[in-house]
Structure 1
Amino acid sequence: MSKKVSLACSSCSSRNYTTSKNVSTQPTRLEVNKYCKVCGKHTLHRETK
């Protein structure tokens, strides 16, 4: 079962990315280092509700 989630920047809280994840194999929140165009650098992006 896949679920569509959005990723928010941990420093400026802007929601830059959307992705899908398998809820049955990945029950915890997703954390990925991505480029934030608002901050202008690579930051940690966390899954939001």
Structure 2
Amino acid sequence: MAKPGARLIITLECTECRTNSDKRKPGVSRYVTKKNKRNTTGRLELKKFCAYCNKHTVHKETK
């Protein structure tokens, strides 16, 4: 049996979708990924493609 690991499933959400009213379509871009909580203790920030803004934007980890 596998041990309970340090990997967590997190959600990344677009930072520009909340403030930008000039979007291609309404909504908020979200991605699901995993991170190692022992190595990465802070909030994760990645540049991902947002289909609602139609460009690459910063996606931050949500609670």
Name the TM-score, length of structure 1 as normaliser: 0.92
Q: 1:20 to 1:47 in 2, by over 3 A?
A: same
Question: What is the rounded CA distance, in whole Å, between the counterparts of 1:5 and 1:15 in structure 2?
Answer: 14
Shift of 1:17: 0.4
- The correspondence for 1:5, drawn from 10, 31, 37, is 10
Q: Which protein has the larger Cα radius of gyration, Structure 1 or Structure 2?
A: 2
- The correspondence for 2:48, drawn from 34, 40, 45, is 34
Question: What is the rounded CA distance, in whole Å, between the counterparts of 1:37 and 1:15 in structure 2?
Answer: 7
Question: What is the rounded CA distance, in whole Å, between the counterparts of 2:8 and 2:61 in structure 1?
Answer: 12
Query: In percent, how many aligned pairs have the same letter?
Result: 41
Q: Count matched residues.
A: 49
**Partner SS state of residue 57, structure 2:** strand
Instruction: Tell me the residue number matched to 1:48.
Output: 62
Unaligned residue ranges in structure 1 (runs of 5+): none
One-letter code aligned to 2:12: L
RMSD over aligned CA atoms reads 1.0
- Dislocated runs of 4+, deviation >2 Å: none
- For the pair 1:23 / 2:37, whether they are aligned, the reply is yes
